[in-house]
Structure 1
Amino acid sequence: MRTVRRLLYRDILSSFTLVMAGFLALFFFVDFIDDLDRFQRLGLGVGLALWSCVLKLPGRFYELMPIAVLIGTIFSLARLAQSSEFTILRTGGLGPQRALGLLSTLALVFAVLAFVVGDFVTPWADKQAQLLKSSSTGVSNAAGAWMKDRDGDFSYAVHVGRARTNGTMEDVLIFEFDAKGAMATRLTAKNATVDASGRWQMNDVRLMQWTRTPTPLSAQAAAAPDHKDPAVSQDKLSDNPTVRELLLPTYTWQSQLPAGVVTAAVQPTWNMSTLELYRYTRHLSSQEQSSAQPEIQFWRKAFYPFACMVMVALALPFAYLHFRSGGISVKVFGGIMLGISFVVLNAIAGHLGLLRDWTPWLVASAPSLFYLGISMAAFYWLVRYR
């Protein structure tokens, strides 16, 4: 059995490597042509364009993982069936259950590889690519976002205009509302940083207070040493004597928004790991905000490694087809089209689930379970009747 395992694993892995290398080379060439033109317009060199394309490869690998597993496994098993090697293995004692067990172990290896690349390698590479672009062009890739926070009876609406890859947030705007929903404080800051505990350190702050009653923001402002400097604070003369404006060089605000939640809010969901998506969806739910889109993305990310196992299951019936009479190209092409239909259905299901407000985990798992059922039914029929 060790010899059989070595034969199958080596053949499937070599086919998968060949297919993945071909896909990556193709996408690398397309990305390089696109980045070369864009980087040259910005006055940057060819080396930066090459490095940018290299940093995109982990993301391409992650996206192409299921389809490469399917094509590589189909090609390997169909070739073994055509040369009658798989028939010899069956005659030597490789029964259907044992073959299914061997390929399940290999499918689990593919799933673990997809999880590691998707949750660790790809986010790191994407952040490095964004850092490369922002440092070269001075433009941040992360767009702004609105967030909600609550501290006792007070609620906050927080907006970040831009977020740079080094963790600095620019054009920060914070509205504070009291228990009755009336605005108590308006704060703007040129830039800010936030640590893991939710402490915001802001610079060039403009703080406006609409009440004389101390609030969490105004109480902190009153206790700050900077408020005693008449050069940085002044009473605003207006018809409303309760309005006060403070100009502060630095300001610290303790919130319930840690750095991970802020980063998750300003960056694309596809660029986040499974854990970051989970924390972000929990935060949205706790603040009574809509979390349908990131929750569907979380479950799709969580079930994505399972798609590799489904691809191996789809390829298994091809080992039991008879290819000696010809037609191997048509059958392999049909299997590849089946795998592509799985990828398309998986993408469509996410949009339908968002429009119809379906259960997120069911939307993410339904395509995989459906195609797994198809593959197992085909496998049973071929073994039982063919």
Structure 2
Amino acid sequence: MHTVRKLIYSTVIKHVFGVTLAFSALFFFIDFVDEIRKYGAIDSLISCLYMQGQHFYDIFPIGLLIGSILALAGMARTSEFTILRTGGLGPGRALSLLGVLGVSAAVLMVAVGNSVVPWTEQQLTLHKAQIGQRGTLKLGGSGTWLRERRDAPGDASRTITVNVGSAVSDVEFGAVRIFEFDEQGRLQRRLFAQEARIRPLGGGVSAQGSIWQLKGVQETVWLSHEQQIDEQTVRAGARLVRETQLASMDWQSSLTPLVVSASVLPPETMSTFALWRYTEHLASNAQAAQRYEIEFWKKSFYPLVCLVMVALALPYAYLHARSGGMSLKIFGGVMVGISFVLANHISSHLGLLNDWEPWLAAAAPSVLYLLLSMSAFAWLVRYR
């Protein structure tokens, strides 16, 4: 059985590696042609190298499907798999052998999606910030917005809205505006800082709070009636404003570097842990979190895609080359795999539009296609 396992695994891995490498080279060429129009050759090359992390995460399941189909169909065409079946390789054993391969690929996807992809996307963001204007990355026309609610014991509740205009690194940001509202929704305080550096309280990504070290601060405070009395500046029907210029100041917040970085990067490039933390933050501040919840469950179920792809390829080992149409059948299998990828992407958008349960929108395509592949496999074993 060791020889059988070595034969099947080496054949499948060789084809999967070749297909994935070909797709990676194609995407690298397309990215380089696009980047060279905006940056120099060296900067474009570095950017394309960082992009390969996300590309590998996206194309590996398709490469696994196509490589597995080519390997198993080739073994069926040369009668190698028929000889293995004659030697005692039953359907259950063949399914378990490829299942181990699928689980190994799923573990690889977990590692890549939660470590390699976030790191490469972060480095890509920093690299583009360094070669961009003034070394910063603009976050769209209006920047990115965050919100937190503070309910201090013995104090009135406050709602705080933070706008970040640009990013220098994962802990350094520019053009930061902070708005503090009272429980009636009236603006009480506004801070504008040219630069902000976030330092987590207690250290580590799991910190529950942070200190924002603001530089070049302009503070605007709308005085309450009691404050006006204290300063003897009461005017009928007027709210006076006090403005202060500060070189620097510390502002404590529950918005950690992880939360701020998550709001900057697209949800597709975040790790599972970062998505979970960010959805918790959005839910606790009464913000819409369904998009990130769907992405969290999609990323959690994404490793199952590898099992689905291997299961879709398994029936090709039981086809007979003499019946003809092998090339057409292989093409059909590739199209089924591509349709699965499309369904996986469309399902998340449909779930967002129709307000489906996030876990259901993420898991439905995988479960459906897994049942489809197992049904095809059982039919071939029974009738062919």
Q: Quote the residue 2:131 is aligned against.
A: 136
Q: How does 1:51-90 map to 2 (within 5 A)?
A: 51-90=46-85
**Aligned-pair distance for 1:164?**
2.2
Matched, 1:203 2:200: no
Distance 2:236 2:4 in 1: 86
Q: Quote the residue 2:8 is aligned against.
A: 8
TM-score normalised by L of structure 2:
0.90
Residue-by-residue CA offset, 1:312-354 (whole Å, 9 max, x unaligned):
0000111111112321100000000000000111111111111
Asked if the contact 1:349–1:363 (Cα under 8 Å) also holds between the matched residues in 2, the reply is yes
Q: 2:290 aligns with which of 289, 292, 317?
A: 292
Asked if the contact 1:150–1:256 (Cα under 8 Å) also holds between the matched residues in 2, the reply is no
SS in 2 for 1:37: coil
SS in 2 for 1:70: helix
- AA aligned to 1:9 is Y
Q: How does 1:359-378 map to 2 (within 5 A)?
A: 359-378=357-376
Q: Quote the residue 1:18 is aligned against.
A: 18
When the two chains are superposed, the root-mean-square deviation of aligned CA atoms in Å is: 2.0
Distance 1:165 1:371 in 2: 41
Structure 1 residues 11 and 209, CA gap change in structure 2 (3 angstroms): same
- AA aligned to 1:246 is T
Structure 1 residues 213 and 147, CA gap change in structure 2 (3 angstroms): farther
Q: Alignment identity in percent?
A: 47
Distance 1:329 1:380 in 2: 22
Q: How many residues align?
A: 362
Matched, 1:173 2:177: yes
Q: Larger deviation: 309-318 or 244-253?
A: 244-253
TM-score normalised by L of structure 1:
0.89
SS in 2 for 1:324: helix
- AA aligned to 2:317 is A
SS in 2 for 1:185: strand
Q: Quote the residue 1:312 is aligned against.
A: 310
Distance 2:349 2:112 in 1: 25
Matched, 1:98 2:102: no
Distance 2:236 2:177 in 1: 23
Q: Larger deviation: 13-22 or 315-324?
A: 315-324
- AA aligned to 2:197 is T
**Aligned-pair distance for 1:166?**
4.9
SS in 1 for 2:164: strand
Instruction: Extract unaligned runs of 5+ from structure 2.
Output: 152-156, 202-209, 228-232
Q: How does 1:1-386 map to 2 (within 5 A)?
A: 1-39=1-39, 44=40, 46-138=41-133, 139-140=136-137, 142-143=139-140, 144-152=143-151, 153-197=157-201, 198-212=210-224, 240=238, 242-386=240-384
SS in 1 for 2:322: coil
Distance 1:47 1:131 in 2: 15
Structure 1 residues 48 and 201, CA gap change in structure 2 (3 angstroms): same
SS in 2 for 1:38: coil
Distance 1:332 1:113 in 2: 26
Distance 2:245 2:370 in 1: 62
Distance 1:214 1:113 in 2: 62
Residue-by-residue CA offset, 1:228-259 (whole Å, 9 max, x unaligned):
xxxxxxx9x99846421111111111111111
**Aligned-pair distance for 1:31?**
1.3
